[in-house]
């Protein structure tokens, strides 16, 4: 339906752009003052906790596999040679068998080389090593890292299929000298399961990471070797180590046999591949055999067929490892994108807020010439009230004492209050009280609209007080006939305590700064119920205030924008509201707000297809920054705690400090624009530890409630009567603000 008619003062309003969405006549649930938590699903918190546990498990598994979690880095060098057993190992060969706790070592026969490769498999270098071995008809032993086997099972199968041998090099390349016995056994068993899942095989060979030639074995290394032997492994050390592709270091002296160590992972191994080709050519010319370790010492193959249970759990382990790696990669990119979007949003909105402030102070408005009323038009002020005895007198008193020069009709719609709200409001001269049965805020507002005498309507909640100039500042913006609604500037009056201060910062930075940008982008999402002005004809054309959602103000604003009306922000039209004073009350309020906003987004989802760009801008912004990004917030916190616990905390702390610094700078500018004290920012960093978590949990609760199709009831919050206290009136607030800001 297209609104028609004339505005106050005989100004004919042009037909609005677009068309209005139909609304369903579905009654909104009546308001209730139930003291318990808002109704909604309960079991999803268990699912949420289970989800966080799964994320924690994925992070831990990935961290373990990538050598982050636990004592997996090389420890300090131990030059302890006091053990008789370690001395015996040093005098022996590179292949060590431990029987009854005593070492028995073997050397390779002459003109026999067992080429061994550590730290793989690697998707880049291992295939190239295999190709060189195949060209020369040589066989080798690959001491593989279990986590890499899990990541590259196909490559591990290729090693076996081409006749090479596998050995155990632990799951996370842990320094076995520095870990307890249980961790050593876990490293060995996990690698065996990874091999079982990838190839269906176990191996009897093992090489401790960071080990060298047998002649360098220490007492601590011997203790680790005994533990590996107890797990059924034959220990393979080395005679020669061709570090960084040193060809000379890989060639045995004269005709001696040797176990040669090379590496097919852990960096750029181009030199290793080239050296391998040269070494194999030289060994061939010297009549050497290049064979596996077990073939070199005349033993059966190190491979043993794994049982069905080990193959099953090994496959599950490998799948979980790959899934965790993929999850962490995706999460890393998602967090990067989230951070970039958040910082981009900050920068973009700061620029728009600055442009808005420039136009406002310069006395001009973007793309619209300044229009003024020929005389102050009459207005009707509607106050829907339900059990507002604590604050209704302060609210009505601020309206009666307005400095607006024109006619002001004040209607208080008592929505079935049981605490004497109507009687308190009726005690003021010139105030008309309309009593009706409890039917919800939308019904109360529609009752007020039906009884209003004037075209221009101003609406405010029963816990809100206006400054003397607020009505006039709202009305002047409606002089533009294209404007259908005006959002005022809501400020928190009860700023005592951390919760009040946090909400004060949120109102200034999160709400009012955004509204400056929304006006320039023509995508205002909400004219708050605390302070807003409307054209009566526009509301009637929409069928009144809809009861379809619990966020009737957001629903109404979206409907106006879709109907082609401009919705603007008047930062100087200040209203003081009473914010929730406890975390429980805050939860109830934000749960209703968030759930109602989701309802409104769903109701107006087809706006993204309208010719009017409002839907794409507004709904896209809300979906991205008010739904999707909060869903990532728990994972961000979990990753931060995880990183601090298992890795260097400095990068996390630095990132957090940088983000808070950006927030502080933006907060300072937003407070400056709003004429507020910058000293309020001292509590902003603490928001990250309580308030932020509460807000994203509210989003999660609301989203699950909506997805499950639960119809949430309206839950009121307890009023404290903030503006009834001495020194807490709007006038006192203005004086304090002017004294500190000069405005």
**Residue 231 falls within a domain, yes or no?**
yes
CATH number, residue 382: 3.90.550.10
Q: Is residue 320 part of a domain?
A: no
The two three-digit tokens of residue 412, written as one number: 């208080």
Mean pLDDT computed over every residue of the chain: 84
pLDDT bin (cut points 50, 70, 90) of residue 328 is: confident
Q: Report the distance separating Cα 118 and Cα 142, nearest Å.
A: 6
The separation between CA 615 and the C-alpha centre of its own chain, rounded to angstroms, equals 25
pLDDT grade for 7, boundaries at 50, 70 and 90: very low
Give the residue, 243 or 41, on which the prediction is more confident.
243
pLDDT of residue 95: 93
Q: Are residues 341 and 474 in the same domain?
A: yes
Predicted confidence at residue 17, as pLDDT, reads: 41
Please write the tens of the pLDDT for every residue from 48-92.
Answer: 777 778 877 877 777 777 765 544 445 444 445 557 788 888 888
678 and 593 inside one domain? yes
Residue 361: pLDDT band by 50, 70, 90 thresholds? low
Residue 624 in any domain: the answer is yes
Q: For residue 397, how far is the Cα from the chain centroid?
A: 44
- Distance, in Å, from the CA atom of 658 to the CA atom of 655, rounded to the nearest integer, reads 5
Residues 201 and 282 in one domain: yes
Residue 100 lies in domain: 84-306
- For helices 44-65 and 629-646, give the axis angle rounded to 10 degrees: 40
Does the CA dihedral 371-372-378-383 come out positive or negative? positive
Residues 283 and 392 in one domain: no
| Contact in structure between 723 and 590 (CB atoms under 8 Å) | no
> What is the predicted pLDDT for the residue at 292?
96
Q: Give the pLDDT band (50/70/90) at residue 168.
A: very high
Whether residues 254 and 371 share a domain: the answer is no
The answer to the question of residue 601 being in a domain is yes
Q: Which residue has the higher pLDDT, 50 or 447?
A: 447
Residue 167: pLDDT above 60?
yes
Q: What is the chain's Cα-based Rg?
A: 37
* Residues 206, 487: Cα–Cα separation, whole Å: 72
The residue that leads in pLDDT, 355 or 377, is: 377
Residue 640 has pLDDT above 70, yes or no: yes
Considering the domain boundaries, does residue 7 fall inside one? no
Give the pLDDT band (50/70/90) at residue 730. Answer: low
30 against 241, higher pLDDT: 241
The pLDDT of residue 294 is: 95
pLDDT of residue 580: 87
What CATH number does residue 242 fall under? 3.20.20.370
Q: What pLDDT score does 42 carry?
A: 58
* pLDDT grade for 612, boundaries at 50, 70 and 90: confident
Maximum average pLDDT range among 97-111, 329-343, 586-600, 709-723: 586-600
Residues 611 and 474 in one domain: yes
Same domain, 468 and 406: yes
User: In the chain, pLDDT over 90 holds for what percent of residues?
Assistant: 48
Q: How far is the C-alpha of 553 from the C-alpha of 563, rounded, in Å?
A: 15
Among 151-155, 432-436, 459-463, 644-648, the minimum mean pLDDT is found in 644-648
Q: Does pLDDT of 457 surpass 70?
A: yes
Mean pLDDT along residues 546-574? 93
For the segment 91-114, the average pLDDT, to the nearest whole number, is 88
**Rounded (10°) CA dihedral 105, 109, 110, 111:** -120
Q: 257-294, pLDDT tens digit by residue?
A: 999 999 999 889 999 999 999 999 999 999 999 999 99
What are the backbone angles phi and psi of residue 239, rounded to the nearest 5°? -100, -40
Same domain, 714 and 605: yes
Tell me the pairing of strands 234-236 and 95-99: antiparallel
Taking 70 as the threshold, does the pLDDT of residue 626 lie above it? yes
Residue 381 within any structural domain of the chain: yes
47 or 607: which leads in pLDDT:
607
Q: What is the pLDDT of residue 420?
A: 92
Q: ∠ at Cα 443 (438, 444), nearest 5°? A: 70
pLDDT in tens, 118-166: 999 999 999 999 999 999 999 999 999 999 999 999 999 999 999 999 9
Domain end among 286, 306, 326: 306
Are both 293 and 380 inside the same structural domain?
Answer: no
Query: Where is average pLDDT lowest: 47-51, 495-499, 532-536?
Result: 47-51
State how far the alpha carbon of 725 is from the alpha carbons of 195, 677, 728, in Å: 73, 22, 6
Same-domain pairing of 301 and 371: no
Model pTM greater than 0.75? Answer: no
Higher pLDDT, 580 or 136: 136
Contact 490, 511 (CB under 8 A): yes
**What secondary structure letter does DSSP report for 576?**
E
In a domain, 584, yes or no: yes
C-beta of residue 124 within 8 angstroms of C-beta of residue 39: no
Q: How confident is the model at residue 432 (pLDDT cuts 50, 70, 90)?
A: very high
Q: Which residue has the higher pLDDT, 643 or 161?
A: 161
CB-based burial label for 739 (10 Å; 0-12, 13-18, 19+): exposed
Lowest mean pLDDT among 34-48, 262-276, 307-321: 34-48
Do 529 and 624 lie in one domain? The reply is yes
Confidence band for 41, pLDDT divided at 50, 70 and 90? low
Closest C-alpha among 141, 114, 94, 137 to residue 264:
141
What CA–CA distances, in Å, run from 278 to 253, 275, 428? 16, 5, 102
Indicate the number of domains in the chain: 2
Determine which of 17-21, 189-193, 502-506, 608-612 has the lowest per-residue pLDDT on average.
Answer: 17-21
- Other CB atoms within a 10 A radius of the CB of residue 336 amount to 10
Query: What is the 8-class DSSP label of residue 309?
Result: H
Does some domain include residue 64? no
Nearest to 525 by CA among 614, 461, 631, 627: 614
Q: Count of residues for the chain?
A: 743
Is the predicted pLDDT of residue 363 greater than 80, yes or no? no
**Does the pLDDT value for residue 117 go beyond 90?**
yes
pLDDT reading at 208 higher than 70: yes
Q: Which neighbouring-strand residues pair with 104? A: 97
User: Is 15 a residue whose pLDDT tops 50?
Assistant: no
Based on the domain organization, do 636 and 676 belong to the same domain?
yes
pLDDT score for 421: 92
């Amino acid at each position: 339906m297209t609104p028609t008619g004339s505005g106050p003062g005989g100004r004919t309003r042009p037909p609005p752009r677009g068309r209005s969405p139909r609304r369903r006549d579905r009654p909104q649930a009546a308001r209730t003052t139930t003291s318990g938590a808002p109704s909604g699903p309960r079991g999803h918190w268990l699912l949420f906790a289970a989800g966080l546990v799964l994320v924690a498990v994925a992070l831990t598994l990935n961290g373990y596999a990538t050598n982050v979690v636990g004592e997996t880095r090389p420890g300090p060098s131990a030059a302890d040679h006091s053990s008789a057993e370690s001395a015996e190992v040093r005098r022996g060969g590179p292949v060590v068998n431990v029987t009854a706790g005593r070492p028995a070592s073997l050397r390779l026969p002459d003109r026999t080389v067992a080429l061994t490769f550590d730290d793989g498999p690697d998707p880049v270098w291992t295939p190239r090593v295999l190709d060189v071995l195949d060209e020369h008809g040589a066989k080798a032993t690959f001491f593989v890292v279990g986590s890499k086997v899990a990541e590259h099972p196909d490559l591990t199968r290729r090693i076996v299929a081409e006749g090479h041998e596998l050995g155990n090099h632990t799951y996370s390349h842990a320094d076995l000298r520095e870990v307890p016995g249980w961790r050593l056994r876990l490293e060995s068993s996990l690698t065996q399961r990874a091999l079982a899942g990838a190839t269906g095989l176990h191996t009897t060979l093992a090489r401790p990471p960071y080990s060298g030639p047998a002649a360098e074995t220490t007492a601590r290394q011997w203790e680790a070797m005994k533990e590996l032997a107890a797990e059924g492994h034959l220990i393979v050390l080395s005679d020669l180590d061709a570090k960084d592709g040193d060809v000379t270091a890989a060639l045995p002296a004269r005709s001696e046999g040797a176990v040669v160590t090379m590496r097919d992972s852990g960096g750029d191994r181009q030199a290793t591949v080239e050296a391998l080709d040269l070494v194999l050519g030289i060994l061939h010319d010297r009549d050497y055999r290049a064979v596996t370790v077990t073939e070199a010492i005349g033993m059966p193959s190190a491979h043993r067929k794994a049982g069905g249970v080990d193959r099953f759990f090994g496959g599950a382990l490998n799948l979980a490892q790959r899934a965790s790696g993929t999850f962490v990669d995706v999460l890393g990119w998602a967090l990067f994108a989230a951070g970039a979007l958040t910082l981009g949003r900050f920068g973009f909105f700061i620029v728009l807020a600055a442009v808005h402030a420039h136009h406002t102070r310069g006395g001009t408005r973007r793309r619209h010439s300044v229009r003024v009323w020929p005389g102050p038009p009459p207005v009707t002020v509607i106050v829907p009230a339900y059990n507002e005895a604590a604050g209704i007198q302060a609210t009505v008193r601020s309206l009666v004492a307005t400095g607006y020069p024109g006619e002001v009709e004040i209607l208080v719609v008592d929505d079935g209050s049981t605490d004497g709200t109507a009687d308190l409001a009726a005690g003021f001269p010139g105030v008309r009280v309309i009593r009706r049965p409890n039917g919800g805020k939308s019904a109360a507002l529609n009752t007020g609209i039906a009884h209003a005498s004037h075209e221009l309507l101003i609406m405010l909640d029963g816990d809100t007080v206006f400054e003397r100039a607020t009505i006039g500042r709202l009305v002047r913006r409606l002089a533009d006939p294209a404007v259908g609604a005006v959002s005022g500037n809501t400020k928190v009056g009860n700023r005592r305590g951390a919760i009040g201060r946090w909400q004060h910062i949120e109102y200034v930075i999160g709400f009012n700064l955004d509204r400056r940008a929304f006006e320039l982008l023509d995508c205002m999402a909400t004219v708050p119920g605390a302070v807003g002005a409307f054209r009566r004809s526009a509301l009637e054309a929409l069928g009144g205030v809809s009861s379809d959602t619990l966020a009737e103000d957001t629903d109404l604003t979206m409907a106006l924008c879709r109907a082609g009306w401009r919705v603007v922000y008047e930062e100087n039209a200040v209203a003081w509201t009473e914010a929730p004073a406890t975390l429980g009350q805050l939860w109830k309020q934000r749960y209703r707000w968030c759930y109602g906003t989701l309802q409104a987004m769903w109701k107006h989802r087809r706006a993204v297809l309208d010719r009017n760009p409002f839907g794409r801008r507004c709904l896209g912004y809300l979906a991205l920054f008010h739904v999707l990004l909060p869903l990532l917030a728990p994972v961000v916190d979990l990753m931060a705690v995880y990183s601090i616990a298992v890795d260097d905390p400095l990068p996390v702390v630095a990132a957090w400090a940088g983000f808070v610094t950006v927030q502080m700078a933006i907060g300072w500018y937003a407070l400056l624009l709003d004429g507020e004290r910058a000293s309020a920012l001292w509590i902003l960093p603490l928001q990250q530890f309580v308030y932020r978590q509460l807000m994203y949990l509210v989003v999660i609760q609301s989203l699950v409630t909506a997805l499950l199709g639960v119809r949430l009831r309206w839950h009121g919050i307890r009023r404290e009567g903030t503006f009834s206290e001495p020194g807490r009136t709007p006038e006192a607030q203005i004086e304090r603000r002017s004294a500190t800001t000069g405005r």
